[in-house]
Amino acid sequence: MADKSSAPKPQRPTIRDVSRLAGVSFKTVSRVINNQPYVSADKRDRVRTVMAEIGFQPSQAARALAGHRSHQIALICDNPNPWYVFEVQAGVRERCEREGVRMIAQPYDRASPTLFDDIVALIDQAHPDGLVLTPPACDDRQVMDELSRRRIPFVRLQPGTATAGVPGSAIDNEAAAYDMTAYLIGLGHIRIGFVVGERSYATSGQRLAGYRRALAEAAIPDDPACVRQGAFDFGSGKAAADALLDLPDPPTAIFAASDDMAAGVLVAAHRRGIAVPATLSVAGFDDAPLAQLVWPPLTTIHQPVRQLAVEATDLLFGEAKGVRCLAHALVVRESTSSPPGLTDSTAT
């Protein structure tokens, strides 16, 4: 992945800037860009002068979007975490507003047998000019093939598979999970449980791979009993933690692939009277607001969800291809420490 940076890229001039500076509507700017009629010579000259002065360069994708009737971008989003959904929606909406384009959000059920038909129905009814696909739809080959067949621009947020020529944005999930697992190993933990995310999300497999790579590099056996399936929600995290803590040799640290699941791990530990982090370290992934509301506050991986959505949407209005990879960060809080009998000073 290229372009690894957590900092927002410099904003290029948008159709909103041209509209404001020329004192005309978005539709008028769109008509000038696409050489359409019904624009007076005076307004056409003003728009072109402003475009030249601020260096506005409409791309082929922008021309295609501007030329359609709906001026709408559809966000296809499904996630059990309301915070994640809100951040994605906010990022897509922020970028659309700069172009004078409306965002329409379509929640869906990833387990629905009519998922593909539902997305096709949205396209037929709303006629969006482009789509932002989030997991797991962003890795659904049937959906991508249909959009390509219809020549509808689309981008993918957190894609789990490489698709030539399809733009998107992501963090390196495998590296992020590796960093967290390596951090726990550095504290002295050698028995580390892992709660995997929803099966249908490719990012779940990537995070599991990062966990396993860190164990392998530290020559720590990969015990299948220490890996439990979750679903990115509180209940599955608690159930996974109960199973891990019932093991004859339970882990001294549990890393959950989402903060919601990590919160479930905390509750399972508290109900058993297990002190966190003195007896059990707990870590999450996301850095959602929840991570600072639970007790103790969670050590977690920060992923810039809103900026990921901004970057993905930006690609709908640009010429760039490939995946923009933003930086993640390890955030250390009070839920992790060295295992019992090993002080921080003796941890490697």
The mean pLDDT of 319-330, rounded to a whole number, is 85
Residue that wins the pLDDT comparison between 226 and 27: 226
Question: What is the full DSSP assignment across 200-251?
Answer: T-HHHHHHHHHHHHHHHHTT----GGGEEE--SSHHHHHHHHHHHHTSSS--
**237/320 same-domain check:** no
Q: How far is CA 225 from CA 210, 211, 244, in A?
A: 17, 14, 8
Residue 319: HSE in the Cβ half-sphere, 13 Å Cα cutoff: 5
Rounded distance between C-alpha atoms, residue 80 and residue 230, angstroms = 12
Q: Quick check: 6 pLDDT over 60?
A: no
Q: In CATH, what number is assigned to the domain containing residue 208?
A: 3.40.50.2300
Burial label for 84, CB within 10 Å (0-12, 13-18, 19+), is buried
Residue with tokens 């399809």: 166
The mean pLDDT of 45-52, rounded to a whole number, is 89
Other CB atoms within 10 A of residue 270 CB: 13
Highest mean pLDDT among 28-42, 80-94, 201-215: 201-215
Q: How far is CA 156 from CA 136, 151, 310, in A?
A: 10, 15, 12
HEC letters along 8-45: CCCCCCCHHHHHHHHCCCHHHHHHHHCCCCCCCHHHHH
In a domain? residue 116: yes
Give the rounded percent of residues in the chain with a pLDDT score beyond 90. Answer: 53
Give the rounded percent of residues in the chain with a pLDDT score beyond 70. Answer: 88
- Answering whether pTM is above 0.85, one says no
Q: 132-149: per-residue pLDDT in tens?
A: 999 888 888 888 888 888
Residue that wins the pLDDT comparison between 11 and 313: 313
The mean pLDDT of 74-95, rounded to a whole number, is 89
In a domain? residue 320: yes
Which residues are CB-contacts of 213 (< 8 A; sequence separation ≥ 6)? 174, 178
**105/226 same-domain check:** no
316: part of which helix (H) or strand (E)? helix 305-316
**236/299 same-domain check:** yes
Task: Give the pLDDT confidence score for residue 178 in this predicted structure.
Answer: 98
Q: Which is nearest to 262 in space by CA: 243, 279, 281?
A: 281
Q: 272-288: per-residue pLDDT in tens?
A: 999 999 999 999 999 99
In a domain? residue 7: no
Question: What is the full DSSP assignment across 111-170?
Answer: T-TTHHHHHHHHHHHH--SEEEE-TTGGG-HHHHHHHHHTT--EEEES-SS--TT--EEE
Based on the structure, what is the number of domains in the chain?
Answer: 2
Q: Contact at 8 Å (CB) between 99 and 58? A: no
**106/147 same-domain check:** yes
Task: Give the pLDDT confidence score for residue 343 in this predicted structure.
Answer: 58
**75/129 same-domain check:** yes
Q: Quick check: 69 pLDDT over 70?
A: no
**116/196 same-domain check:** no
Provide the 3-class DSSP secondary structure of residue 195.
strand
In a domain? residue 243: yes
Q: Which domain holds residue 200?
A: 173-305+330-346
**66/87 same-domain check:** yes
Q: 188-228: per-residue pLDDT in tens?
A: 999 999 999 999 889 999 999 999 999 999 999 999 999 99
